[in-house]
Each structure stands twice: as structure tokens, then as C-alpha cells.
Structure 1
């Protein structure tokens, strides 16, 4: 008789494995109430700069840039409902200068 070995494989990939570095994920379910004025992909942002605001449980939560660099994607639009882990934006960190 032939013997077979089975290997457990995760059914779904972990979300952090599928998101590019610098991804800003929704920390809670809520509604995007506004995006920083004039913010668009290609813009240069600085660490700590407010990018957008989420409303959850009647409170506004500011989502800020994790690093200085370039905003390469902006998926959040005012009025959109988001769930925990929804990709809101991506900031590509500046390469440190030698």
C-alpha cells in the first residue's frame, strides 16, 4: 500500500501578507468623513501628517502618515463605510540618503 502525507495549508492568506509596505489599514469599522484637502496619489507626505478622518461610535479618529514619503495610493473616499483592515492608503517611505 502506498503511503500519503497530508500538509495543512492555510485557507486564506494573512491580510498583512497581501498588503504592500506602508499600507494604512482601517483600525476600526467606521465611515470616512473626510480626506485631507488636496491630497492625491503622488503627493509627498510627512510622518504624522493627517491624511484622513474616520468616524466610529460618534467620534472622529485621525489617520496619519506612518512615515515621510510619497502617497502611492488613496482608496478612502468621503462617505465610504470601511471594515477593520480595509486598505485606506499606501505611503511609500523615502529611501534614507547616505
Structure 2
């Protein structure tokens, strides 16, 4: 079960700044014969759910959720049946601007 996580952690930082990382066979996260199980914290599915938080860390007001290298380099995460696709692009904090005047 660790092979998907270990491979991801070693390879994603080396991926081209505009690369795409694909994780397949995510269904094995649910299969006990592969060390998986529903909501098992060590499965790659549960690991990838934590990556969603990291993807959005700039928007968090929770001090435990901090911006890291993944936050700064992952552009998007798309889930499909048994597959996760992560697009890599350099990111900076978004800037929320309000313009105009209230209409009420």
C-alpha cells in the first residue's frame, strides 16, 4: 500500500513544472489483500484526501494547515474511477479584489 505514496512523494517534486502525474489502481486502497480498507488511514485514497487540503492551504484559516511545496506546485486534482490525475503548475496565492460599489 505504501508504494503509491512513496513513489508519489519521490517523483512528483521531480516532475516538469507543467507536467501531469497519474496514479492508477486506486481501487486497491479498498482491498484488504493489498493492505487497504475503507477509510484506512494508510491507504492512498485517504492520503490523497489530505492532498486536497494541501491544494487549498492558502485559503485555510486553520494554523495546522500550512502552505507547502505541494500547495505551491499543484494546479488541480481530478478523480476518476480508480485514477487520480494531478496537474502541476507553479502557483502563487490568489488575490481577492473587490471593485465597484454596492447597488443597494
TM-score, normalized by the shorter chain, greater than 0.5: no
More strand by share: 1
Tell which has more relative contact order, 1 or 2 (C-alpha 8 A, sep 6+). Answer: 1
TM-score, normalised to structure 1's length? 0.29
More helix by share: 2
Larger CA Rg, structure 1 vs 2: 1
TM-score, normalised to structure 2's length? 0.28
